[in-house]
Structure 1
Protein backbone atom coordinates (compact mmCIF):
# COMPACT_ATOMS: atom_id res chain seq x y z
CA UNK A 1 0.00 0.00 0.00
CA UNK A 2 1.33 3.46 -0.98
CA UNK A 3 1.25 6.30 1.56
CA UNK A 4 2.86 9.56 2.53
CA UNK A 5 5.86 8.90 4.73
CA UNK A 6 6.29 10.38 8.19
CA UNK A 7 9.56 11.98 9.29
CA UNK A 8 11.62 9.53 11.35
CA UNK A 9 14.15 10.08 14.14
CA UNK A 10 16.68 7.29 14.75
CA UNK A 11 18.94 6.76 17.76
CA UNK A 12 21.49 4.54 16.03
CA UNK A 13 23.18 3.09 19.08
CA UNK A 14 25.92 0.51 19.57
CA UNK A 15 23.68 -1.61 21.80
CA UNK A 16 20.21 -0.76 20.49
CA UNK A 17 18.32 1.17 17.83
CA UNK A 18 15.35 3.33 18.82
CA UNK A 19 13.02 4.72 16.17
CA UNK A 20 10.78 7.75 16.71
CA UNK A 21 7.96 8.60 14.30
CA UNK A 22 6.59 12.12 14.32
CA UNK A 23 3.18 12.12 15.96
CA UNK A 24 3.58 8.62 17.45
CA UNK A 25 6.69 8.80 19.67
CA UNK A 26 9.17 5.92 20.09
CA UNK A 27 7.73 3.01 18.11
CA UNK A 28 10.70 0.62 18.06
CA UNK A 29 13.43 -0.30 20.54
CA UNK A 30 15.50 -3.29 19.40
CA UNK A 31 19.10 -4.49 19.90
CA UNK A 32 21.59 -3.51 17.15
CA UNK A 33 22.19 -7.13 16.12
CA UNK A 34 21.81 -8.95 12.80
CA UNK A 35 21.99 -12.68 12.08
CA UNK A 36 23.13 -13.81 8.62
CA UNK A 37 23.75 -17.07 6.82
CA UNK A 38 27.49 -17.07 6.00
CA UNK A 39 27.06 -19.41 3.05
CA UNK A 40 24.40 -17.39 1.21
CA UNK A 41 24.78 -13.91 2.77
CA UNK A 42 21.03 -13.96 3.48
CA UNK A 43 19.73 -11.83 6.35
CA UNK A 44 17.96 -14.20 8.75
CA UNK A 45 16.96 -12.13 11.77
CA UNK A 46 17.27 -8.55 13.02
CA UNK A 47 17.03 -7.04 16.51
CA UNK A 48 15.80 -9.05 19.51
CA UNK A 49 15.48 -12.31 17.55
CA UNK A 50 19.08 -11.96 16.31
CA UNK A 51 20.34 -11.07 19.81
CA UNK A 52 18.93 -14.34 21.15
CA UNK A 53 21.34 -16.09 18.75
CA UNK A 54 24.52 -14.33 20.02
CA UNK A 55 27.07 -16.96 21.07
CA UNK A 56 24.62 -19.77 20.29
CA UNK A 57 24.76 -20.18 16.51
CA UNK A 58 25.82 -23.17 14.37
CA UNK A 59 28.77 -22.77 11.99
CA UNK A 60 26.89 -21.36 9.02
CA UNK A 61 24.94 -18.70 10.97
CA UNK A 62 26.69 -15.67 12.44
CA UNK A 63 25.10 -13.06 14.75
CA UNK A 64 26.97 -9.74 14.62
CA UNK A 65 26.70 -6.20 15.94
CA UNK A 66 27.35 -3.87 12.99
CA UNK A 67 28.07 -0.83 15.19
CA UNK A 68 31.08 -0.53 17.47
CA UNK A 69 32.00 2.35 19.80
CA UNK A 70 29.10 4.44 18.50
CA UNK A 71 30.06 4.25 14.81
CA UNK A 72 29.45 1.93 11.87
CA UNK A 73 31.94 -0.95 11.72
CA UNK A 74 30.07 -3.00 9.09
CA UNK A 75 28.47 -0.68 6.53
CA UNK A 76 26.55 -3.32 4.55
CA UNK A 77 24.99 -4.91 7.65
CA UNK A 78 24.07 -1.50 9.14
CA UNK A 79 22.30 -0.54 5.93
CA UNK A 80 20.37 -3.83 5.83
CA UNK A 81 19.46 -3.55 9.52
CA UNK A 82 18.21 0.03 9.07
CA UNK A 83 16.20 -0.93 6.00
CA UNK A 84 14.52 -3.74 7.97
CA UNK A 85 13.71 -1.48 10.96
CA UNK A 86 12.34 1.30 8.71
CA UNK A 87 10.20 -1.26 6.86
CA UNK A 88 8.94 -2.60 10.19
CA UNK A 89 7.81 0.82 11.48
CA UNK A 90 6.49 2.30 8.22
CA UNK A 91 4.85 -0.81 6.83
CA UNK A 92 6.12 -0.86 3.27
CA UNK A 93 6.18 1.26 0.12
CA UNK A 94 5.73 5.06 0.25
CA UNK A 95 5.02 7.57 -2.47
CA UNK A 96 7.50 9.92 -0.79
CA UNK A 97 10.36 8.26 1.14
CA UNK A 98 10.75 9.58 4.72
CA UNK A 99 13.20 12.23 5.89
CA UNK A 100 15.39 10.79 8.62
CA UNK A 101 17.20 12.44 11.52
CA UNK A 102 20.02 10.28 12.94
CA UNK A 103 21.91 11.12 16.11
CA UNK A 104 25.68 10.61 16.17
CA UNK A 105 28.40 10.84 18.89
CA UNK A 106 29.85 14.35 19.27
CA UNK A 107 33.37 13.11 18.43
CA UNK A 108 32.44 11.56 15.07
CA UNK A 109 34.73 12.15 12.07
CA UNK A 110 33.56 13.32 8.65
CA UNK A 111 34.22 9.86 7.18
CA UNK A 112 32.06 8.27 9.89
CA UNK A 113 29.37 10.91 9.28
CA UNK A 114 29.35 10.09 5.58
CA UNK A 115 28.93 6.37 6.39
CA UNK A 116 25.83 7.13 8.53
CA UNK A 117 24.35 9.41 5.85
CA UNK A 118 24.98 6.90 3.05
CA UNK A 119 23.53 4.03 5.09
CA UNK A 120 20.39 6.10 5.76
CA UNK A 121 20.01 6.96 2.07
CA UNK A 122 20.51 3.34 0.99
CA UNK A 123 17.97 2.23 3.60
CA UNK A 124 15.32 4.33 1.83
CA UNK A 125 15.50 7.87 3.22
CA UNK A 126 14.70 10.87 1.04
CA UNK A 127 17.09 13.02 3.04
CA UNK A 128 19.31 12.32 6.04
CA UNK A 129 20.04 14.85 8.78
CA UNK A 130 22.49 14.46 11.68
CA UNK A 131 22.27 15.69 15.26
CA UNK A 132 24.83 15.27 18.05
CA UNK A 133 23.84 12.85 20.81
CA UNK A 134 24.21 15.22 23.79
CA UNK A 135 22.04 17.85 22.06
CA UNK A 136 19.36 15.24 21.30
CA UNK A 137 19.64 13.93 24.89
CA UNK A 138 19.13 17.45 26.31
CA UNK A 139 16.04 18.04 24.17
CA UNK A 140 14.67 14.61 25.12
CA UNK A 141 15.26 15.33 28.81
CA UNK A 142 13.07 18.42 28.53
CA UNK A 143 15.84 21.03 28.76
CA UNK A 144 15.20 24.32 26.94
CA UNK A 145 18.53 24.60 25.12
CA UNK A 146 17.63 27.80 23.24
CA UNK A 147 18.25 30.08 26.24
CA UNK A 148 21.66 31.68 27.05
CA UNK A 149 21.92 29.34 30.02
CA UNK A 150 24.51 26.58 30.54
CA UNK A 151 23.40 22.96 30.88
CA UNK A 152 25.57 19.86 31.19
CA UNK A 153 24.47 16.51 29.80
CA UNK A 154 26.25 13.19 30.39
CA UNK A 155 24.94 10.58 27.93
CA UNK A 156 26.26 7.06 28.63
CA UNK A 157 25.23 4.70 25.84
CA UNK A 158 26.42 1.27 24.78
CA UNK A 159 29.57 2.23 22.88
CA UNK A 160 30.30 5.86 23.78
CA UNK A 161 29.85 8.33 26.60
CA UNK A 162 29.14 11.87 25.41
CA UNK A 163 29.58 14.77 27.79
CA UNK A 164 28.59 18.25 26.65
CA UNK A 165 27.89 21.75 27.90
CA UNK A 166 25.04 23.26 25.89
CA UNK A 167 23.91 26.88 25.62
CA UNK A 168 21.96 28.82 22.96
CA UNK A 169 21.17 25.60 21.03
CA UNK A 170 24.84 24.80 20.54
CA UNK A 171 27.58 22.70 22.12
CA UNK A 172 30.08 24.95 23.93
CA UNK A 173 32.40 22.20 25.19
CA UNK A 174 32.19 18.45 24.72
CA UNK A 175 34.01 15.14 24.98
CA UNK A 176 33.17 11.77 23.48
CA UNK A 177 34.96 8.73 24.88
CA UNK A 178 34.68 5.09 23.85
CA UNK A 179 33.91 3.94 27.37
CA UNK A 180 30.29 3.03 28.12
CA UNK A 181 27.93 0.09 28.71
CA UNK A 182 29.90 -2.38 26.57
CA UNK A 183 33.09 -1.63 28.51
CA UNK A 184 31.21 -2.20 31.78
CA UNK A 185 30.28 -5.68 30.49
CA UNK A 186 33.89 -6.36 29.44
CA UNK A 187 35.08 -5.27 32.89
CA UNK A 188 32.73 -7.79 34.52
CA UNK A 189 33.99 -10.61 32.24
CA UNK A 190 37.64 -9.74 33.05
CA UNK A 191 36.93 -9.43 36.78
CA UNK A 192 35.19 -12.83 36.92
CA UNK A 193 38.09 -14.43 35.08
CA UNK A 194 40.70 -12.79 37.31
CA UNK A 195 38.97 -13.05 40.69
CA UNK A 196 36.94 -16.25 40.40
CA UNK A 197 38.66 -18.20 37.59
CA UNK A 198 35.34 -18.43 35.80
CA UNK A 199 34.48 -17.57 32.20
CA UNK A 200 31.09 -15.94 31.56
CA UNK A 201 29.42 -14.70 28.39
CA UNK A 202 28.42 -11.18 27.40
CA UNK A 203 24.74 -11.77 28.12
CA UNK A 204 25.49 -13.00 31.66
CA UNK A 205 27.67 -9.92 32.24
CA UNK A 206 24.81 -7.68 31.02
CA UNK A 207 22.41 -9.42 33.42
CA UNK A 208 24.83 -8.91 36.34
CA UNK A 209 25.25 -5.22 35.45
CA UNK A 210 21.49 -4.67 35.38
CA UNK A 211 20.61 -6.65 38.49
CA UNK A 212 23.41 -5.90 40.97
CA UNK A 213 25.71 -3.43 39.19
CA UNK A 214 26.59 -0.32 41.17
CA UNK A 215 29.27 2.38 41.27
CA UNK A 216 28.43 3.83 44.71
CA UNK A 217 28.02 1.89 47.98
CA UNK A 218 24.49 0.48 48.28
CA UNK A 219 22.55 0.77 51.52
CA UNK A 220 21.77 -2.91 51.24
CA UNK A 221 24.11 -5.30 49.47
CA UNK A 222 22.61 -7.29 46.59
CA UNK A 223 23.74 -10.71 45.35
CA UNK A 224 23.21 -12.82 42.24
CA UNK A 225 23.91 -16.45 41.42
CA UNK A 226 25.62 -16.90 38.05
CA UNK A 227 26.76 -19.84 35.98
CA UNK A 228 29.90 -20.01 33.88
CA UNK A 229 32.76 -22.29 32.86
CA UNK A 230 35.48 -22.97 35.39
CA UNK A 231 38.88 -22.18 33.85
CA UNK A 232 40.60 -24.79 36.06
CA UNK A 233 38.40 -27.78 35.25
CA UNK A 234 36.59 -26.70 32.07
CA UNK A 235 33.30 -27.73 33.72
CA UNK A 236 30.20 -25.64 34.52
CA UNK A 237 30.39 -23.77 37.82
CA UNK A 238 27.87 -21.73 39.84
CA UNK A 239 28.97 -18.91 42.14
CA UNK A 240 27.36 -16.05 44.07
CA UNK A 241 28.56 -12.50 43.36
CA UNK A 242 27.71 -9.38 45.39
CA UNK A 243 27.27 -5.70 44.47
CA UNK A 244 30.50 -4.63 46.24
CA UNK A 245 32.43 -6.79 43.77
CA UNK A 246 30.67 -4.98 40.92
CA UNK A 247 31.99 -1.65 42.23
CA UNK A 248 35.48 -3.12 42.08
CA UNK A 249 34.91 -4.47 38.54
CA UNK A 250 33.61 -1.11 37.26
CA UNK A 251 36.40 0.99 38.79
CA UNK A 252 38.47 1.59 35.63
CA UNK A 253 35.69 2.56 33.14
CA UNK A 254 33.92 4.69 35.75
CA UNK A 255 37.12 6.63 36.52
CA UNK A 256 37.59 7.37 32.81
CA UNK A 257 34.04 8.76 32.53
CA UNK A 258 34.53 10.89 35.67
CA UNK A 259 37.82 12.19 34.26
CA UNK A 260 36.05 13.20 31.01
CA UNK A 261 33.33 15.04 32.98
CA UNK A 262 36.03 16.86 34.96
CA UNK A 263 37.96 17.81 31.80
CA UNK A 264 34.85 19.27 30.14
CA UNK A 265 34.08 21.31 33.27
CA UNK A 266 37.68 22.58 33.33
CA UNK A 267 37.37 23.89 29.75
CA UNK A 268 33.94 25.48 30.25
CA UNK A 269 33.70 29.31 30.56
CA UNK A 270 33.18 30.36 34.21
CA UNK A 271 29.74 31.95 33.58
CA UNK A 272 28.45 28.65 32.22
CA UNK A 273 30.03 26.68 35.09
CA UNK A 274 28.02 28.91 37.46
CA UNK A 275 24.86 28.06 35.47
CA UNK A 276 25.64 24.32 35.61
CA UNK A 277 26.20 24.60 39.36
CA UNK A 278 22.64 26.00 39.65
CA UNK A 279 20.96 23.81 37.03
CA UNK A 280 22.76 20.58 37.92
CA UNK A 281 24.02 17.81 35.63
CA UNK A 282 21.55 15.61 33.73
CA UNK A 283 22.43 12.00 32.94
CA UNK A 284 20.86 10.06 30.06
CA UNK A 285 21.39 6.73 28.27
CA UNK A 286 21.21 3.15 29.52
CA UNK A 287 24.62 3.37 31.25
CA UNK A 288 23.34 6.12 33.56
CA UNK A 289 20.95 3.58 35.11
CA UNK A 290 23.83 1.71 36.78
CA UNK A 291 22.98 2.12 40.46
CA UNK A 292 24.53 5.15 42.19
CA UNK A 293 26.08 6.84 39.11
CA UNK A 294 24.27 10.13 39.82
CA UNK A 295 25.37 10.02 43.48
CA UNK A 296 28.99 9.37 42.47
CA UNK A 297 29.12 12.34 40.06
CA UNK A 298 27.47 14.56 42.71
CA UNK A 299 30.09 13.44 45.25
CA UNK A 300 33.03 14.00 42.87
CA UNK A 301 31.97 17.34 41.32
CA UNK A 302 29.91 18.92 44.08
CA UNK A 303 27.18 19.56 41.47
CA UNK A 304 23.73 18.06 41.97
CA UNK A 305 23.27 15.29 39.38
CA UNK A 306 20.03 13.61 38.31
CA UNK A 307 19.17 10.78 35.94
CA UNK A 308 16.61 11.93 33.36
CA UNK A 309 13.17 10.36 33.37
CA UNK A 310 13.07 7.54 30.79
CA UNK A 311 16.85 7.87 30.33
CA UNK A 312 17.09 5.11 27.71
CA UNK A 313 14.76 6.77 25.20
CA UNK A 314 15.87 10.39 25.87
CA UNK A 315 18.14 10.56 22.81
CA UNK A 316 15.47 9.07 20.52
CA UNK A 317 12.83 11.45 21.93
CA UNK A 318 15.13 14.44 21.40
CA UNK A 319 16.01 13.31 17.88
CA UNK A 320 12.31 12.99 17.13
CA UNK A 321 11.39 16.36 18.66
CA UNK A 322 14.09 18.10 16.61
CA UNK A 323 12.27 16.88 13.47
CA UNK A 324 9.84 19.75 14.10
CA UNK A 325 12.51 22.26 13.08
CA UNK A 326 13.31 20.59 9.74
CA UNK A 327 10.96 23.04 8.06
CA UNK A 328 13.15 25.93 9.30
CA UNK A 329 16.20 24.58 7.51
CA UNK A 330 18.00 26.67 4.92
CA UNK A 331 21.03 25.45 2.98
CA UNK A 332 21.15 22.36 5.16
CA UNK A 333 21.80 24.13 8.46
CA UNK A 334 19.79 24.81 11.59
CA UNK A 335 20.56 26.29 14.99
CA UNK A 336 21.52 22.98 16.52
CA UNK A 337 25.26 22.36 16.63
CA UNK A 338 26.72 20.63 13.57
CA UNK A 339 23.41 19.25 12.35
CA UNK A 340 23.64 18.66 8.60
CA UNK A 341 21.71 17.31 5.69
CA UNK A 342 22.93 15.63 2.53
CA UNK A 343 20.85 15.70 -0.65
Structure 2
Protein backbone atom coordinates (compact mmCIF):
# COMPACT_ATOMS: atom_id res chain seq x y z
CA UNK A 1 0.00 0.00 0.00
CA UNK A 2 1.12 3.55 -0.79
CA UNK A 3 1.24 4.80 2.80
CA UNK A 4 4.17 6.59 4.43
CA UNK A 5 4.63 7.42 8.13
CA UNK A 6 6.57 10.69 8.49
CA UNK A 7 8.24 11.69 11.76
CA UNK A 8 8.12 15.45 12.29
CA UNK A 9 10.32 17.77 14.33
CA UNK A 10 9.07 20.19 16.98
CA UNK A 11 8.46 22.90 14.38
CA UNK A 12 6.06 20.58 12.55
CA UNK A 13 8.16 20.13 9.41
CA UNK A 14 8.86 16.68 7.99
CA UNK A 15 12.03 15.14 9.39
CA UNK A 16 12.37 11.48 8.45
CA UNK A 17 10.49 8.42 7.21
CA UNK A 18 9.33 6.22 10.11
CA UNK A 19 7.72 3.45 8.04
CA UNK A 20 6.52 2.65 4.52
CA UNK A 21 3.92 0.26 3.11
CA UNK A 22 2.16 -2.27 5.36
CA UNK A 23 3.97 -1.08 8.49
CA UNK A 24 2.85 2.50 7.82
CA UNK A 25 -0.71 1.43 6.97
CA UNK A 26 -1.06 -0.23 10.37
CA UNK A 27 -0.33 3.18 11.91
CA UNK A 28 -3.29 4.92 10.21
CA UNK A 29 -5.42 6.48 12.96
CA UNK A 30 -2.99 5.30 15.66
CA UNK A 31 -0.06 7.75 15.42
CA UNK A 32 1.17 10.13 18.15
CA UNK A 33 1.40 13.86 17.52
CA UNK A 34 4.90 13.80 16.03
CA UNK A 35 4.16 11.08 13.43
CA UNK A 36 1.77 11.42 10.49
CA UNK A 37 0.62 8.50 8.33
CA UNK A 38 0.12 9.91 4.83
CA UNK A 39 -1.18 8.55 1.52
CA UNK A 40 1.06 10.39 -0.98
CA UNK A 41 -0.81 8.90 -3.96
CA UNK A 42 -4.49 9.78 -4.34
CA UNK A 43 -6.64 8.21 -7.08
CA UNK A 44 -3.50 6.92 -8.79
CA UNK A 45 -1.73 10.29 -9.03
CA UNK A 46 0.62 12.24 -6.76
CA UNK A 47 -1.06 14.16 -3.95
CA UNK A 48 2.11 14.92 -1.95
CA UNK A 49 5.26 15.31 -4.07
CA UNK A 50 7.75 15.38 -1.18
CA UNK A 51 6.40 12.26 0.55
CA UNK A 52 6.14 10.38 -2.78
CA UNK A 53 9.82 11.13 -3.39
CA UNK A 54 10.71 9.85 0.09
CA UNK A 55 8.68 6.68 -0.51
CA UNK A 56 10.49 5.98 -3.79
CA UNK A 57 13.85 6.62 -2.11
CA UNK A 58 12.91 4.00 0.49
CA UNK A 59 12.01 1.44 -2.21
CA UNK A 60 15.26 2.07 -4.12
CA UNK A 61 17.27 1.71 -0.90
CA UNK A 62 15.51 -1.59 -0.11
CA UNK A 63 16.39 -3.06 -3.51
CA UNK A 64 20.03 -1.92 -3.25
CA UNK A 65 20.40 -2.60 0.47
CA UNK A 66 23.87 -4.18 0.13
CA UNK A 67 25.22 -1.65 -2.36
CA UNK A 68 28.34 0.29 -1.30
CA UNK A 69 27.82 3.03 -3.88
CA UNK A 70 24.75 5.27 -3.97
CA UNK A 71 22.19 3.44 -6.18
CA UNK A 72 21.04 5.04 -9.43
CA UNK A 73 18.71 2.48 -11.05
CA UNK A 74 16.46 2.46 -14.07
CA UNK A 75 12.87 2.65 -12.81
CA UNK A 76 9.65 1.49 -14.48
CA UNK A 77 6.50 3.12 -13.08
CA UNK A 78 2.93 2.03 -13.82
CA UNK A 79 0.53 4.95 -14.35
CA UNK A 80 -3.25 5.10 -14.82
CA UNK A 81 -4.16 5.18 -18.51
CA UNK A 82 -6.38 8.20 -17.83
CA UNK A 83 -3.63 10.28 -16.22
CA UNK A 84 -2.80 13.62 -17.83
CA UNK A 85 0.58 14.70 -19.19
CA UNK A 86 1.02 16.95 -16.16
CA UNK A 87 0.38 14.03 -13.79
CA UNK A 88 2.79 11.79 -15.74
CA UNK A 89 5.47 14.49 -15.67
CA UNK A 90 5.05 14.81 -11.89
CA UNK A 91 5.53 11.05 -11.46
CA UNK A 92 8.63 11.08 -13.68
CA UNK A 93 10.16 14.05 -11.81
CA UNK A 94 9.42 12.44 -8.45
CA UNK A 95 11.23 9.23 -9.47
CA UNK A 96 14.20 11.21 -10.82
CA UNK A 97 14.31 13.22 -7.60
CA UNK A 98 14.37 9.96 -5.63
CA UNK A 99 17.61 8.95 -7.36
CA UNK A 100 16.54 7.11 -10.51
CA UNK A 101 18.91 7.33 -13.50
CA UNK A 102 16.19 6.72 -16.07
CA UNK A 103 12.41 6.57 -15.67
CA UNK A 104 10.03 4.69 -17.95
CA UNK A 105 6.24 4.97 -17.71
CA UNK A 106 3.86 2.17 -18.71
CA UNK A 107 0.06 2.08 -18.60
CA UNK A 108 -1.18 -0.03 -15.69
CA UNK A 109 -3.39 -2.36 -17.81
CA UNK A 110 -0.49 -3.26 -20.12
CA UNK A 111 1.78 -3.99 -17.16
CA UNK A 112 -0.97 -6.09 -15.56
CA UNK A 113 -1.55 -8.03 -18.80
CA UNK A 114 2.16 -8.82 -19.14
CA UNK A 115 2.34 -9.82 -15.48
CA UNK A 116 -0.68 -12.11 -15.88
CA UNK A 117 0.99 -13.89 -18.80
CA UNK A 118 -1.51 -12.79 -21.45
CA UNK A 119 -0.48 -13.09 -25.10
CA UNK A 120 -0.29 -9.34 -25.64
CA UNK A 121 1.83 -9.61 -28.82
CA UNK A 122 -0.65 -11.80 -30.71
CA UNK A 123 -3.63 -10.62 -32.82
CA UNK A 124 -6.03 -11.75 -30.10
CA UNK A 125 -8.16 -9.54 -27.90
CA UNK A 126 -7.40 -9.62 -24.17
CA UNK A 127 -9.37 -7.66 -21.60
CA UNK A 128 -7.84 -6.55 -18.31
CA UNK A 129 -9.68 -5.03 -15.35
CA UNK A 130 -7.13 -3.73 -12.86
CA UNK A 131 -8.75 -2.63 -9.59
CA UNK A 132 -6.17 -0.83 -7.49
CA UNK A 133 -6.47 1.25 -4.36
CA UNK A 134 -7.38 4.51 -6.09
CA UNK A 135 -8.39 3.67 -9.66
CA UNK A 136 -9.88 0.93 -11.82
CA UNK A 137 -8.29 0.51 -15.24
CA UNK A 138 -10.23 -1.27 -17.98
CA UNK A 139 -8.40 -2.05 -21.21
CA UNK A 140 -8.61 -4.18 -24.34
CA UNK A 141 -5.17 -5.20 -25.60
CA UNK A 142 -4.01 -6.69 -28.91
CA UNK A 143 -0.72 -6.73 -30.89
CA UNK A 144 1.32 -5.04 -28.13
CA UNK A 145 -1.05 -2.08 -28.08
CA UNK A 146 -4.04 -0.80 -26.16
CA UNK A 147 -7.11 -0.84 -28.43
CA UNK A 148 -9.39 0.74 -25.82
CA UNK A 149 -8.75 1.94 -22.30
CA UNK A 150 -10.57 3.84 -19.61
CA UNK A 151 -9.80 4.80 -16.05
CA UNK A 152 -12.35 5.46 -13.32
CA UNK A 153 -11.32 6.81 -9.94
CA UNK A 154 -12.90 3.96 -8.02
CA UNK A 155 -10.89 1.33 -6.18
CA UNK A 156 -10.32 -0.44 -2.90
CA UNK A 157 -10.11 2.85 -0.99
CA UNK A 158 -13.59 3.80 -2.23
CA UNK A 159 -14.89 0.44 -0.96
CA UNK A 160 -13.54 1.31 2.50
CA UNK A 161 -15.03 4.82 2.36
CA UNK A 162 -18.42 3.38 1.38
CA UNK A 163 -18.39 1.07 4.42
CA UNK A 164 -17.37 3.94 6.75
CA UNK A 165 -20.18 6.14 5.40
CA UNK A 166 -22.73 3.31 5.70
CA UNK A 167 -21.84 2.72 9.36
CA UNK A 168 -21.99 6.44 10.13
CA UNK A 169 -25.34 6.82 8.37
CA UNK A 170 -27.09 3.70 9.72
CA UNK A 171 -25.47 3.15 13.11
CA UNK A 172 -24.42 6.67 14.08
CA UNK A 173 -20.91 5.41 14.74
CA UNK A 174 -17.49 6.22 13.37
CA UNK A 175 -15.00 3.51 12.38
CA UNK A 176 -11.47 3.86 11.00
CA UNK A 177 -9.98 2.79 7.68
CA UNK A 178 -8.36 -0.30 9.19
CA UNK A 179 -11.69 -1.50 10.62
CA UNK A 180 -13.48 -0.84 7.32
CA UNK A 181 -10.84 -2.84 5.46
CA UNK A 182 -11.17 -5.72 7.94
CA UNK A 183 -14.96 -5.74 7.43
CA UNK A 184 -14.46 -5.76 3.64
CA UNK A 185 -12.04 -8.68 3.77
CA UNK A 186 -14.05 -10.81 6.21
CA UNK A 187 -17.68 -10.40 5.09
CA UNK A 188 -17.52 -8.12 2.04
CA UNK A 189 -19.03 -9.45 -1.19
CA UNK A 190 -19.96 -8.12 -4.61
CA UNK A 191 -22.78 -10.61 -5.17
CA UNK A 192 -25.54 -12.01 -2.90
CA UNK A 193 -24.35 -15.22 -1.26
CA UNK A 194 -26.17 -18.32 -0.07
CA UNK A 195 -25.40 -17.60 3.58
CA UNK A 196 -25.39 -14.41 5.63
CA UNK A 197 -22.22 -13.77 7.61
CA UNK A 198 -21.82 -11.44 10.58
CA UNK A 199 -18.97 -9.58 12.22
CA UNK A 200 -18.71 -7.78 15.56
CA UNK A 201 -17.52 -4.19 15.10
CA UNK A 202 -16.35 -1.58 17.59
CA UNK A 203 -16.64 2.10 16.80
CA UNK A 204 -17.17 5.48 18.46
CA UNK A 205 -20.80 6.49 18.88
CA UNK A 206 -21.10 10.01 17.48
CA UNK A 207 -23.99 11.05 19.75
CA UNK A 208 -22.50 9.80 23.03
CA UNK A 209 -18.81 10.11 22.14
CA UNK A 210 -17.96 6.73 23.67
CA UNK A 211 -16.97 3.35 22.13
CA UNK A 212 -19.83 1.02 21.21
CA UNK A 213 -20.06 -2.51 19.77
CA UNK A 214 -22.54 -3.59 17.11
CA UNK A 215 -22.96 -6.33 14.50
CA UNK A 216 -22.85 -6.01 10.72
CA UNK A 217 -23.87 -8.68 8.23
CA UNK A 218 -22.75 -9.40 4.68
CA UNK A 219 -26.03 -8.16 3.16
CA UNK A 220 -25.46 -4.73 4.70
CA UNK A 221 -21.93 -4.55 3.31
CA UNK A 222 -23.23 -5.58 -0.13
CA UNK A 223 -25.69 -2.67 0.08
CA UNK A 224 -22.91 -0.30 1.18
CA UNK A 225 -20.72 -1.26 -1.80
CA UNK A 226 -23.39 -0.85 -4.47
CA UNK A 227 -22.33 2.64 -5.61
CA UNK A 228 -18.61 1.92 -6.27
CA UNK A 229 -19.42 -1.51 -7.73
CA UNK A 230 -21.93 0.04 -10.15
CA UNK A 231 -19.20 2.41 -11.37
CA UNK A 232 -16.84 -0.50 -12.10
CA UNK A 233 -19.53 -2.52 -13.89
CA UNK A 234 -20.44 0.51 -16.01
CA UNK A 235 -16.79 0.98 -17.03
CA UNK A 236 -16.58 -2.68 -18.11
CA UNK A 237 -19.84 -2.43 -20.07
CA UNK A 238 -18.65 0.69 -21.92
CA UNK A 239 -15.37 -1.06 -22.81
CA UNK A 240 -17.26 -4.03 -24.28
CA UNK A 241 -19.55 -1.69 -26.25
CA UNK A 242 -16.58 0.23 -27.69
CA UNK A 243 -14.60 -2.89 -28.53
CA UNK A 244 -14.35 -3.98 -32.23
CA UNK A 245 -16.53 -7.07 -32.97
CA UNK A 246 -13.61 -9.45 -33.64
CA UNK A 247 -11.90 -8.56 -30.38
CA UNK A 248 -15.23 -8.78 -28.53
CA UNK A 249 -15.54 -12.33 -29.86
CA UNK A 250 -12.08 -13.17 -28.46
CA UNK A 251 -13.02 -11.74 -25.06
CA UNK A 252 -16.28 -13.71 -25.06
CA UNK A 253 -14.29 -16.89 -25.70
CA UNK A 254 -11.33 -16.26 -23.38
CA UNK A 255 -12.91 -14.12 -20.67
CA UNK A 256 -11.32 -11.18 -18.89
CA UNK A 257 -8.52 -11.00 -16.33
CA UNK A 258 -9.10 -9.33 -12.95
CA UNK A 259 -6.01 -7.96 -11.22
CA UNK A 260 -5.19 -5.63 -8.36
CA UNK A 261 -5.97 -5.74 -4.66
CA UNK A 262 -9.56 -4.57 -5.16
CA UNK A 263 -10.25 -7.60 -7.36
CA UNK A 264 -9.93 -9.81 -4.25
CA UNK A 265 -13.43 -8.72 -3.18
CA UNK A 266 -15.41 -11.95 -2.96
CA UNK A 267 -17.68 -12.86 -5.90
CA UNK A 268 -16.61 -9.86 -7.99
CA UNK A 269 -16.12 -12.28 -10.88
CA UNK A 270 -19.75 -13.44 -10.52
CA UNK A 271 -20.97 -9.83 -10.61
CA UNK A 272 -19.09 -9.11 -13.85
CA UNK A 273 -20.39 -12.23 -15.58
Segment drifting more, 42-51 vs 137-146: 42-51
CA displacement at 1:40 relative to structure 2: 4.2
User: Could you list the per-position Cα deviations for residues 119-171 of structure 1 after superposition, in whole angstroms to 9, with x for gaps in the alignment?
Assistant: 11111111000111001111111101000110110000000000000000111
1:239-250 alignment runs, 5 A limit:
239-250=214-225
SS of structure 2 residue aligned to 1:288 = helix
- Give the total of aligned pairs: 269
1:166-245 alignment runs, 5 A limit:
166-245=141-220
User: Could you list the per-position Cα deviations for residues 205-228 of structure 1 after superposition, in whole angstroms to 9, with x for gaps in the alignment?
Assistant: 011011111010122222111100
Segment drifting more, 145-154 vs 33-42: 33-42
Q: Distance in 2 between matches of 1:203 and 1:182?
A: 11
CA displacement at 1:53 relative to structure 2: 2.3
Unaligned runs of 5+ in 2: none
1:82-121 alignment runs, 5 A limit:
82-91=56-65, 92-94=67-69, 97-121=72-96
Q: Distance in 2 between matches of 1:270 and 1:66?
A: 40
Note if contact 1:34-1:81 (Cα within 8 Å) is conserved in structure 2.
Answer: no
Note if contact 1:146-1:167 (Cα within 8 Å) is conserved in structure 2.
Answer: yes
Note if contact 2:71-2:99 (Cα within 8 Å) is conserved in structure 1.
Answer: no
Note if contact 2:76-2:106 (Cα within 8 Å) is conserved in structure 1.
Answer: yes
Aligned to 1:291: 266
Note if contact 2:6-2:14 (Cα within 8 Å) is conserved in structure 1.
Answer: no
Aligned to 1:33: 4
Aligned to 2:19: 46
Unaligned runs of 5+ in 1: 1-15, 17-30, 299-343
Q: Distance in 2 between matches of 1:290 and 1:147?
A: 31
Aligned to 2:42: 68
Give the TM-score, by structure 1 length.
0.76
CA displacement at 1:93 relative to structure 2: 4.4
1:133-144 alignment runs, 5 A limit:
133-144=108-119
1:275-290 alignment runs, 5 A limit:
275-290=250-265
Pairwise CA RMSD: 1.4
Residues 268 and 34 of structure 1, relative CA distance in 2, 3 Å threshold: same
Residues 37 and 244 of structure 1, relative CA distance in 2, 3 Å threshold: same
Note if contact 1:34-1:77 (Cα within 8 Å) is conserved in structure 2.
Answer: no
CA displacement at 1:197 relative to structure 2: 1.3
Aligned to 1:79: 53
Q: Distance in 2 between matches of 1:205 and 1:291?
A: 15
Give the TM-score, by structure 2 length.
0.95
Q: Distance in 2 between matches of 1:209 and 1:95?
A: 41
Q: Distance in 2 between matches of 1:238 and 1:89?
A: 43
1:153 equivalent in alignment to 2:128: yes
Aligned to 2:32: 58
